[in-house]
């Protein structure tokens, strides 16, 4: 089985030389300009994909892992000349989402701790004091209670 080549002239005057399969036409010289444009776009995307960041370890399970992922991403992106910016933006957005989820989990855990420690309105007052970053926490009025270790 021999490989057929497209022999139509290019803009520079030389023959095209595109390898043709059985019953296939050269996408550059098929007569349909939109097919040639789609073929070129496909090649451009493949070229961009070739410029993705190699061997990047993504760890979204801890703060340290997220920080290392972002550090590796920025270092490798700085070294690659034509890096795929969409892929970098996607990884960065995943890191941002992971941070938001971890913050929500920490807030949920804080709320549960406050509800175990202080029931009802006192818990709300403590939470409001903790959210007010510009103020120093003040002790709440009332008698202090002893915390009992219940195995939590």
User: What residues have CB less than 8 Å from 131, skipping those under 6 apart?
Assistant: none
Tell me: the pLDDT tens digits for 107-146? 888 888 777 776 667 767 777 777 775 556 566 566 555 5
- The angle subtended at Cα 151 by Cα 145 and Cα 152, nearest 5°, is 80
Residue 87: band (very low, low, confident or very high) from pLDDT cuts 50, 70, 90: confident
Q: For 33-68, how does the pLDDT look when each residue is reduced to its tens digit (9 = 90+)?
A: 677 788 778 877 777 665 666 677 888 888 888 888
Q: What is the pTM of this model?
A: 0.44
Per-residue model confidence (pLDDT) at position 152: 47
How far apart CA 139 and CA 113 sit, in angstroms, is 17
């Amino acid at each position: 089985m021999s490989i057929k080549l497209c022999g139509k002239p290019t803009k520079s005057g030389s023959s095209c030389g595109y390898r043709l399969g059985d019953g296939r036409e050269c996408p550059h010289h098929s007569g349909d300009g939109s097919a040639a444009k789609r073929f070129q776009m496909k090649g451009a995307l493949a070229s961009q994909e070739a410029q993705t960041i190699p061997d990047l370890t993504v760890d979204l399970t801890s703060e340290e892992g997220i920080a290392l992922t972002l550090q590796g991403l920025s270092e490798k992106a700085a070294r690659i000349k034509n890096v795929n910016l969409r892929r970098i933006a996607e990884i960065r957005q995943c890191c941002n989402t992971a941070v938001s989820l971890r913050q929500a989990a920490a807030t949920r855990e804080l709320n549960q701790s406050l509800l175990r420690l202080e029931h009802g309105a006192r818990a709300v007052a403590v939470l409001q004091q903790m959210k007010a970053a510009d103020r120093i926490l003040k002790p709440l009025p009332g008698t202090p209670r002893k915390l009992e270790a219940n195995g939590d």
